[in-house]
Amino acid sequence: MVTASPVRIDRGRIEELTEREQKTLDARTPKSGEMYEWARKTLSGGVASSYQVRDPWPIYLEKGHGSKVWDVDGTEMVDFHNGFGSMVQGHAHPAIVEAVQRQVARGTHFAAPVEDAIVISEELVRRFGLPQWRYVNSGSEATMDAIRIARAFTGRDTIVKIFGSYHGHHDYVMVSISVPYENIGDPDNYASLPYGAGIPKAASDLTIAVPFNDAGAMERRIERLFDEGRPPACVIMEPAMMNLGVVLPEPGYLEAVREITKRHGVVLIFDEVKTGLCVAPGGATEKFGVLPDMVTMAKALGGGLPSGAIGGSEEVMEVVNNGSVYQVGTYNGNPLTMAAARASLEKVLTPEAYQHLDMLNDRLMAGCDAVLEKYNLPGYTVGISSKGCVTFSPTKITDYASFQASHDGELTDLAWLYMMNRGVFMTPGREEEWTLSVAHSVQDADTYVAAFEELAHDLVA
């Protein structure tokens, strides 16, 4: 729901509240500040991944249990970050703790196949409807290997992705995302711009971006690539974009993409690293009812252990089966990860778990919508099962261009500070959504809505 004739929010008020909330957060996280000073001496930027960087310091965590996490200053928070949505099971779920403890005492790594790997692939076949699977250790590995498989299957080098979508940190996909918007060109001819330094132009030139929710633009670009003698091997895309808040596919879009890719012999890869197992038992593939040729997964699969998987059709995965593609990795199918994943699939992510997530998300969305309406704020809520967000934009965001044009980044930053100061732990980026776990309660959802209402009240006060 987009608010009709919203109030104009005074920019000075946002600045004033941001300054106040920033001071409050700094004052309540002194141990994180000290830890940062210690960490930065030997840990680049004081963190293990650049996505954890935050000014003036990151919030260091100590432990997690169920829906809660505790920072090093001892503050308890309801976790809506959930490790970028990896912890849909909640922290330290007893079934996963038990499975990991049992396995750790029986050996943590063999680099030889184990029974749990078979049980999991059978379950993934059942959930996602793709018949052949392999394991990896992260989302980046999943998308990297899936693209290689698609290239081998088609004998083509070029790939197509959605402009602004994130698919991991390898060279093939660190392209046309978070780049200076003025440089990107028109939607029928988006530039292939590397995301950060160190990505060879030869690699980024092979990746072509098209806008989300525009099947016509995708087809025109694919046809041009054929005309230019560089037909694409695959389209890799999230069925619902999860890095601009949440952007859902418009009705008919995914069906059209499926039809276009099939007609042109282009492998369709649904990157379900965020959505897989989190928005339905069979991910977005099940939720939207469109079957791709391949699915990539990671995050929630391992119940908090580094994991990932690639599923594919018989035809596409034949290049792995016949040995022409080396889909390899020392830690693929690691016994500890497999034990956690099996416990998660069999004992945690049950049909009732998805009902619970849907119920909570509906409650969160309804609560935030009511706040937006009450205070007449420019924004709307959008969500899907365990994920959702308030998008601060007076108009609906359907792709990266509309996000860039109307998303209110300063207000989003302020919302983050409000949450963090009111017992709600959130991801530090402007583009992230809330994520839920099976351990979250109605009370947890209400804590979020109450913090959001304080923000709304103070903004218009």
Q: By CB under 6 A, name the binding residues for ligand PLP.
A: 84, 138-140, 143, 166-168, 238, 242, 271, 273-274, 298
Q: How far is the CB of 73 from ligand PLP (least distance, A)?
A: 27
Q: Toward ligand PLP, which CB reaches closer, 214 or 271? A: 271
Q: Toward ligand PLP, which CB reaches closer, 172 or 416? A: 172
Q: How far is the CB of 51 from ligand PLP (least distance, A)?
A: 8
- Measure the CA–CA gap between 72 and 199, rounded to whole angstroms: 36
Q: Toward ligand PLP, which CB reaches closer, 418 or 425? A: 425
- Measure the CA–CA gap between 388 and 454, rounded to whole angstroms: 19
Q: Toward ligand PLP, which CB reaches closer, 166 or 452? A: 166
Q: How far is the CB of 306 from ligand PLP (least distance, A)?
A: 8
Q: Toward ligand PLP, which CB reaches closer, 39 or 297? A: 297
Phi, psi (deg, nearest 5) at residue 165? -85, 145
Q: Toward ligand PLP, which CB reaches closer, 66 or 139? A: 139
Q: How far is the CB of 183 from ligand PLP (least distance, A)?
A: 23
Q: Toward ligand PLP, which CB reaches closer, 245 or 378? A: 245
Q: Enter the tokens of residue 234.
A: 């695959």
Q: How far is the CB of 392 from ligand PLP (least distance, A)?
A: 21
Q: How far is the CB of 16 from ligand PLP (least distance, A)?
A: 33
Residue nearest ligand PLP, Cβ-based = 139
- Is-catalytic flag, 271? yes
Q: Are 195 and 203 in contact (CB under 8 A)?
A: no
Q: How far is the CB of 84 from ligand PLP (least distance, A)?
A: 5
Rg (CA), the chain: 22
Q: How far is the CB of 245 from ligand PLP (least distance, A)?
A: 13
Q: Toward ligand PLP, which CB reaches closer, 432 or 444? A: 432
Q: How far is the CB of 168 from ligand PLP (least distance, A)?
A: 3
Catalytic residue among 161, 274, 299, 387: 299
Token pair 């694409």 is found at 232
Instruction: Determine if residue 350 is left, alpha or beta; phi over 0 gives left, psi from -120 to 50 gives alpha, anything else beta.
Output: beta
Catalytic residue among 135, 166, 190, 400: 166
- Measure the CA–CA gap between 358 and 365, rounded to whole angstroms: 10
Q: What is the 3-state secondary structure (H, E, C) of the chain?
A: CCCCCCCCCCHHHHHHHHHHHHHHHHHHCHHHHHHHHHHCCCCHHHCCCHHHCCCCCCCCEEEEEECEEEECCCCEEEECCHHHHCCCCCECCHHHHHHHHHHHCCCCCCCCCCHHHHHHHHHHHHHHCCCEEEEECCHHHHHHHHHHHHHHHHCCCEEEEECCCCCCCCCCCCECCCCCHHHCCCHHHCCCCECCCCCCHHHHCCEEEECCCCHHHHHHHHHHHHHCCCCEEEEEECCCECCCCCECCCCCHHHHHHHHHHHCCCEEEEECCCCCCCCCCCHHHHHHCCCCCEEEECHHHHCCCCCEEEEECHHHHHHHHCCCCCCCCCCCCCHHHHHHHHHHHHHHCCHHHHHHHHHHHHHHHHHHHHHHHHHCCCCEEEEECCEEEEECCCCCCCCHHHHHHHCCHHHHHHHHHHHHCCCEECCCCCCCCEECCCCCCHHHHHHHHHHHHHHHHHHHC
Closest CA to 368 of 458, 457, 459, 452: 452
Catalytic residue among 71, 271, 399, 408: 271
Q: Toward ligand PLP, which CB reaches closer, 24 or 52? A: 52
Cα–Cα distances (Å) from 237 to 149, 285, 305, in that order, read 16, 12, 24
- Is-catalytic flag, 358? no
Catalytic residue list? 166, 271, 299
